[in-house]
A = this chain, B = another copy of it.
Amino acid sequence: MSRFLSKEAMKLAPYTPGEQPKDAQYVKLNTNESPFPPSPKLMKAMTRAEELKLNLYSDPTCGRLNEAIARHYELKPENVISGNGSDEILAFAVRAFCGEGKGVAYADITYGFYQAQTALFGLEAKRIPLREDFSLNVDDYMDFPGTIVIANPNAPTGMAVPRADIQRLLEADPDRVVIVDEAYVDFGAESCVPMIYRYDNLLVVQTMSKSRQLAGGRVGYALGSAELIAALNRVKYSFNPYNVNRLSIIAGAAAVEDEAYFRQCCSAIAGNRAWLTGELEARGFAVLPSCANFVFAKSDKIDGGALYRQLKENGILVRWFDADRIRDYVRITVGSMEQLTELVDALDRLLEEV
């Protein structure tokens, strides 16, 4: 380790993002991007005139973007904070609500970034095992005194928690913040947004990277009581006041306003997911019930690591986690029908050789 590192930096647990190889063209089904381009309305909003103003700072309050998001969810702008992707928003939330004597709990199998951010702020984390079938039992969280983070639907399993379960958690301790990470909610889970005015301890985090075709534009946001949002702004203004790109403010507002395109893309993904699930099951895969834009599946013929490697050799990238309980599985993004057909064809070739 470098002699320059602080003690705190030595303890970090950096996250490994999905690979982005440059050596070849892959069918990329490993980072849960949308296979569709950004909304035509978004493309129209990003004019040359706006680009010519890139010499000027973006609005630190993200006014136009937060207003559009608030309108869409029937909230007020004071219930919204936008960030440079939802990872940044999650970090703001963890710093705002957690610290010495205020730990954080999340599932043993969930988005790996929670662990990285917990280490970033030197927090105590309680990892609570999912049930054998990877479902989440909220009763396991009932007595936890710190902040709770639940990905709904969960990654990498794709499985959802009913809204009523989260409601029980919110009611069990009104002084405890529950962060619901709804990065994938638009593909089929129950959003907690309708409960925001009822529970001031509920923070919902969403992103435009998955269901709104804007992963490269880096727009995430949180929705919650004005009190929680003010707490996140305290952290934002201590970290990076101009956190959202000038063009992304415009692009994000246009994306959230184009409801028709959003519905069309989400519905296409749901259709493709059903098709992919059927094809995988027909080939002996066990597929977890997914409410997300990916499926988590294991083969009865080939282990997860080998499948990942052989698919990569065949020009197809999926995500494999070399971790307890999920080593047998691969996570496959629900791409376009063209991409998924290539995947299934490759599987047929591979499984023939097994």
Contacts and interface: CB of A to CB of B under 8 A. Distances in A.
Interface string A51-72: 1111111111101000000000
B12 A213 contact: no
Interface stretch (A130-138, A226-234, A279-287, A307-315): A226-234
A212 to B, nearest CB: 9
A234 B20 contact: no
A7 B101 contact: yes
Nearest to A226: B2
Given A215-B57, A245-B216, A99 B9 contact: yes
A141 interface: no
Report which residue of A15, A218, A246 has the largest number of chain B beta carbons within 10 angstroms of its beta carbon.
Answer: A218
A236 to B, nearest CB: 8
B38 A48 contact: no
B95 A234 contact: no
Interface string A84-116: 110110010001111111100000000000001
Nearest to A88: B240
B57 A97 contact: no
Contacts of A56: 28, 33, 215-216
Contact of A235 (B12, B34, B98, B237): B12
A95 B38 contact: no
B239 A91 contact: yes
A303 interface: no
A248 interface: yes
Interface residues of A, number: 89
A284 to B, nearest CB: 32
Contact of A216 (B4, B36, B57, B97): B57
Contacts of A241: 15, 17, 87
A164 interface: no
Contacts of A239: 87-88, 91, 116-117, 120
Contact of A16 (B218, B237, B240): B237
Given A60-B20, A91-B239, A116-B237, A2 B231 contact: yes
A243 B14 CA distance: 14
Q: Which 9 pairs from chain A and chain B are nearest by CB?
A: A216-B246, A6-B99, A14-B237, A8-B99, A55-B213, A54-B216, A120-B238, A57-B215, A116-B238
5 contacts: A7-B99, A7-B100, A38-B54, A120-B235, A120-B238
Given A6-B97, A43-B48, 20 more contacts: A2-B231, A4-B97, A8-B100, A9-B97, A12-B234, A12-B235, A14-B233, A17-B237, A33-B57, A38-B52, A54-B251, A55-B213, A88-B239, A88-B240, A91-B240, A117-B238, A120-B235, A216-B247, A217-B245, A218-B245
Interface of A: 2-9, 12-17, 20, 22, 28, 31, 33-38, 42-43, 46, 48, 51-61, 63, 84-85, 87-88, 91, 95-102, 116-117, 119-121, 175, 177, 201, 209, 213-218, 227-228, 230-231, 233-248, 251
